[in-house]
Amino acid sequence: MKWSDKAIILSARRLGENSGIIHILTENHGMYKGVDKGAFGKSKRGIYQTGNIVAAHWHARLSEQLGMLSCEIEQATAARIIDDKCKLAVISSAAGLIEKILPEREPQNTIFDDMSTLVAALCGDGDYLKEYVRLEFNLLACSGFGIDVERCAATGQTHDLSYVSPKSGRAVSKNAGIPYKDKLLILPDFLYNTSDEPDKVNTHEILAGIKLCGHFLAERVFAHARGVPPSRARLTQILENTIS
C-alpha cells in the first residue's frame, strides 16, 4: 500500500541515530505517522520542523503497519518564523493539540484547511491568532465536545449570542446572559458570526477565545489525561503576558 499527499509536519521523534518517527497531517488521508531512516541525517536537516509544508510519500506492505515515510520540502515555515517566540508557540500548540486530539488515518479536511490557513497567516500578514483560536474551536468539534453556537440555550434565538455556559457548552444571548455573566464564558463574535468577519480581531476577543476553548479542552477533552499539552499552556502564558 502506498500514497502521496500534501502534508504539514506535526512532530519528529528520534528513533536511533538518524531515523525518526514523523507525525504529519495530510490533505486527504488525515493524520499519519511513518518512519524515515534518514530524518535526522545531514541531507534532510530542516525538513521535519513543525509547521513545514511537504510533499509526503508513505508506503507499507500492509495497511495496518507503521510504514515508511519520505518528504520533500515545499515551504519552510519554521525558518520563516524562527525569530518570533509567539508565532513559534502558536504553531507548536496547534500541532500538539492536533496530534493529541485527532484519530489517526481519518480524513480531516476542515482541520487541514484550518492548519493551512494558520500557516499562511503565520508566514504573512494575516491574523494568525484569530486563525489559531478558530482551529482550537474546530478541534473541539472533532473531539466530540464542540461548543454549540447555533442558538441561545435559554431563548432559542440565533442572533446576539454573547456567552457560553461552562457546564453545557451551549451559547447564551446577551440579554439572557447578563444576569449570570460572571458565571458564563464570553463568546467572541468571530467564532459564530462569520458573515461580517473583520480582517483583524481585537486582543480582548482573542483572549476570550483562548479562555473559552481552554476551558473545554481542560474540562472535557483532557479531563482524564495529564491536562492540556504543555505547548498549549506555554502559549497561553505568552499571550497573557503579551496582549493582556
* Structure confidence at residue 200 (pLDDT): 81
- Residue 197: pLDDT band with limits 50, 70, 90: low
- Residue 195: pLDDT band with limits 50, 70, 90: low
Question: Distance (Å, rounded) from C-alpha 88 to C-alpha 96?
Answer: 12
* Structure confidence at residue 201 (pLDDT): 87
Fold of 2-79: OB fold (Dihydrolipoamide Acetyltransferase, E2P) (2.40.50)
% of the chain surpassing 70 pLDDT: 98
20, β-bridge pairs: 14, 36
* Structure confidence at residue 45 (pLDDT): 85
Question: Distance (Å, rounded) from C-alpha 221 to C-alpha 141?
Answer: 10
Amino acid in position 219 = E
Sequence length of the chain is 244
Average pLDDT of the residues in 90-101: 98
**pLDDT at residue 144 greater than cutoff 90:** yes
* Structure confidence at residue 7 (pLDDT): 98
**pLDDT at residue 244 greater than cutoff 80:** no
Cell of 25: 497531517
Comma-separated ranges of CATH 1.20.1440 domains in the chain? 85-149+187-243
Contact 142/154 with Cβ under 8 angstroms? no
Average pLDDT of the residues in 3-15: 97
Comma-separated ranges of CATH 2.40.50.140 domains in the chain? 2-79
**Secondary structure (DSSP) of the chain:** -EEEEEEEEEEEEEETTTEEEEEEEESSS-EEEEEETTTTSGGGTTTT-TT-EEEEEEE-SSTTS--EEEEEEEE-HHHHHTT-HHHHHHHHHHHHHHHHHSPBTS--HHHHHHHHHHHHHHHSSS-HHHHHHHHHHHHHHHHT---B-SS-TTT---SSEEEE-TTT-BEEEHHHHGGGGGGSEE--GGGT--TT--SS--HHHHHHHHHHHHHHIIIIITTTTTSS-HHHHHHHHHHHHHH-
- Residue 227: pLDDT band with limits 50, 70, 90: confident
Among 1.20.1340, 1.10.287, 1.20.1440, 1.10.10, name the CATH number for the domain at 85-149+187-243. Answer: 1.20.1440
Q: What is the mean pLDDT of the chain?
A: 94
**Among the listed residues 35, 145, 67, the one whose alpha carbon sits nearest the alpha carbon of residue 101:** 145
* Structure confidence at residue 153 (pLDDT): 96
Question: Distance (Å, rounded) from C-alpha 229 to C-alpha 244?
Answer: 22
Handedness of CA 127, 129, 135, 140 (dihedral sign): negative
- Residue 40: pLDDT band with limits 50, 70, 90: very high
pTM: predicted TM-score of the whole model, two decimal places? 0.94
